[in-house]
Homo-oligomer: A and B are copies of this chain.
Amino acid sequence: MKTINTSELAEGIKRGDRVSLSRAITLAESARSDHQLQAQELIQELLPLTGKSKRIAITGVPGVGKSTFIESFGELLTKKGLKVAVLAIDPSSTLSGGSILGDKTRMEDLARNPNAYIRPSATGGYLGGIASRTYESMLLCEAAGFDLILIETVGVGQSEVLVNDMTDLFLFLQIPGGGDELQGIKRGIMEMSDLIFINKIDSFGVTKAKEVRVTFARSMQFLPQKDSGWKRKVVMGSGYTGEGLDEIWEKVTEYFEAIDTNGYLTKRREEQNTVRVKDYIREQLDRKAMDLYKTKSFSEAEIATRNPYFLAMEWIKENF
């Protein structure tokens, strides 16, 4: 990366220039601590312009049709004159070469739309770190004038908890059936959800669709109420045909009006900031410790024969 002029980047982002936005996100994703610091100075400068978007988590297990849904939903929103950014958290990106969401061919149409911006997750690092990078990307997109930030996750558990901590609304895509192995996790994600979209109804008949709606309504009765006071809603439709997308957008709007009115949104944003402070503490402390461990560690003999837990205790006592 060439020398970065952060005030130039800041000006570019304020103008809504995508190249500047992309460069800023790349800077934030850099593993170099000087880059991270520059990125944070940039974020500091843009902070007054952030926080105005609707922050929406979208998840669903592999095969549920997330890409098609997001593409159609994104097109609909841009037609309403809204600017939409799509970010993706992909826990598999820590595997060399492995990526669930990284596929470049996804959401081709939306990617070409001048009012949409699509960015896959940062690679590498532990999940907490990936979450922090996504949060930084979100702030940068907000400063660039995006009205909605859709954060997509793969629906396998861990990353949903993280993304729930940085968004205002949780939208869960489902299709009826699916493997038994995923039932437990679906239940867990259902609890976090504010809206549930039953996708691909064009692929099953009206009778089946009615059955499914009843099943979902029933299973939702047993979920604890949300802190926001909002009652979970189920919408049926199809990302492919576009059915139900207007209804989902209606519910999204209704939700934001409700939490804006009852003060929950303000509370939620405070919680998001608190989680972020804690995550940065963890991340910075971790980096500090691991940098130090490179220069001060244990002998092979100690590592081979002693309890790692007690070695760690000793090490912390000496160094922190």
What is the CA–CA distance of A130 and B316 in the complex, to the nearest angstrom? Answer: 21
Is there an interface contact between B92 and A158, defined as CB atoms closer than 8 Å? yes
Q: Digitize A118-159: 1 where CB-to-B-CB distance is under 8 Å, 0 elsewhere.
A: 000000001110000000000000000000000000101110
B-side contacts of A279, CB under 8 Å: 308
A289 within 8 A of B: yes
A19 within 8 A of B: no
Q: Do A158 and B62 form a contact, CB below 8 Å, given A97-B188, A281-B293, A312-B284?
A: no
Q: Digitize A239-275: 1 where CB-to-B-CB distance is under 8 Å, 0 elsewhere.
A: 0000000000000000000000000000001100110
Which residue of B99, B283, B308, B309 is within 8 Å of A185 (Cβ)?
A: B99
Q: Do A156 and B316 form a contact, CB below 8 Å, given A191-B97, A270-B303, A293-B281?
A: no
B-side contacts of A204, CB under 8 Å: none
Is there an interface contact between A280 and B92, defined as CB atoms closer than 8 Å? no
What is the CA–CA distance of A273 and B309 in the complex, to the nearest angstrom? Answer: 10
What is the CA–CA distance of A97 and B180 in the complex, to the nearest angstrom? Answer: 15
B-side contacts of A101, CB under 8 Å: 181
Q: Digitize A10-52: 1 where CB-to-B-CB distance is under 8 Å, 0 elsewhere.
A: 0000000000000000000000000000001001100100000
Q: Which 9 A-B pairs have the closest CB atoms?
A: A98-B188, A95-B188, A92-B157, A280-B312, A276-B308, A99-B184, A62-B181, A156-B156, A92-B185
B-side contacts of A156, CB under 8 Å: 91-92, 100, 154, 156-157
A217 within 8 A of B: no
What is the CA–CA distance of A293 and B282 in the complex, to the nearest angstrom? Answer: 11
A307 within 8 A of B: yes
Q: Does more than half of chain A's interface fall in helix, strand or loop, or is it mixed?
A: helix
Known: A62-B182, A92-B156, A277-B312; 12 extra A-B contacts, CB below 8 A, are A44-B310, A47-B305, A92-B157, A95-B161, A95-B191, A97-B188, A101-B181, A274-B303, A277-B297, A282-B290, A284-B316, A285-B286
A303 to chain B, nearest CB (A): 5
Is there an interface contact between B181 and A63, defined as CB atoms closer than 8 Å? yes
A213 within 8 A of B: no
What is the CA–CA distance of A303 and B271 in the complex, to the nearest angstrom? Answer: 9
Is there an interface contact between B187 and A307, defined as CB atoms closer than 8 Å? no
A78 within 8 A of B: no
What is the CA–CA distance of A307 and B184 in the complex, to the nearest angstrom? Answer: 37
What is the CA–CA distance of A48 and B72 in the complex, to the nearest angstrom? Answer: 60
What is the CA–CA distance of A30 and B159 in the complex, to the nearest angstrom? Answer: 24
The 6 listed contacts between A and B (C-beta, < 8 Å) are A43-B307, A90-B157, A156-B157, A273-B304, A278-B293, A284-B316
Is there an interface contact between A185 and B280, defined as CB atoms closer than 8 Å? no
Q: Do A95 and B160 form a contact, CB below 8 Å, given A285-B286, A286-B282, A316-B288?
A: yes
A102 within 8 A of B: yes
What is the CA–CA distance of A195 and B104 in the complex, to the nearest angstrom? Answer: 30
Is there an interface contact between B281 and A289, defined as CB atoms closer than 8 Å? yes
